[in-house]
Amino acid sequence: MAPRPAPSTLTRAFLALLVPFALAACGINSVPTAEENAKAKWADVESNYQRRADLVPNLVSTVKAAAASESQILTAVTQARAAATSINITTDDLSNPETFEKYQGAQNQLTQALGQLRTVVESYPQLKSQENFTTLMDQLEGTENQINVARMRYNEAVQSYNTTIRTFPDMIGAKLVHGAKPMVPFKAEAGAASAPKVDFGTAPAAPPANDNKPAPAQTPAAAAN
């Protein structure tokens, strides 16, 4: 039996070109690319949250100097910041719904506390006139805008990654090689569209008594008596 002829140079070149395309078609490259993109967007989210946390102590100190009577709100802001910065989350936790939701919940509490603080300072014109306070509030507003943008971009990257690992043929490499798990996106906070409410624990004042209320009209029979 004659030996099989060795593959030609052209055949070997064709196979060398075919292998990368086959691997790419199975998600070998696309899955880690989508994953790294989502992680990069998450880093932007973390950076902006950290920036906000760094602004809070100076903001609280400034408000305290002019509105010390609002100690309850200031304490709530300080405690919310401590809770938000105490939860350490890694990129591995982005696929853990329970840990991710705890992180998001703590950040939402700080957002609510800062919203209450904004409402309170409206009663202190002398505070709003301070240049330091105005600068801090502008920085805080800018940071929160950046947080919203970073969260939106992260969610877009997560959606792309989750779609990649769940669709054919990328799902082959996602399961066999990468062991990929879906990442958790940010969810809109319940009642996020509503303005924050501040409850000072005081009952509403009763309406003033009307001493000039006219007496009821008499009936003809009563007038005759």
DSSP 77-113: HHHHHHHHHH----GGGGG-HHHHHHHHHHHHHHHHH
Distance from the first to the final alpha carbon of the chain: 140
Question: In this predicted structure, what is the pLDDT of residue 33?
Answer: 93
Question: In this predicted structure, what is the pLDDT of residue 99?
Answer: 96
DSSP of 160-196: HHHHHHHSTTHHHHIIIII---PPPPP-PPTTTTSPP
* Token couple for 211: 């001493």
CATH assignment of 26-195, among 1.20.1440.20, 3.40.50.10210, 3.30.1490.20, 1.10.1270.20: 1.20.1440.20
pLDDT in tens, 165-210: 999 888 888 887 678 899 999 998 755 434 334 333 333 333 344 4
Question: In this predicted structure, what is the pLDDT of residue 145?
Answer: 97
Q: Which residues of the chain are modeled with pLDDT < 70?
A: 1-27, 177, 190-225
CA–CA dist 90, 88 (Å, integer): 7
Question: In this predicted structure, what is the pLDDT of residue 172?
Answer: 86
Q: Are 175 and 166 within 8 A, CB to CB?
A: no
Domain boundaries, the chain: 26-195
State the residue for tokens 């877009």: 156
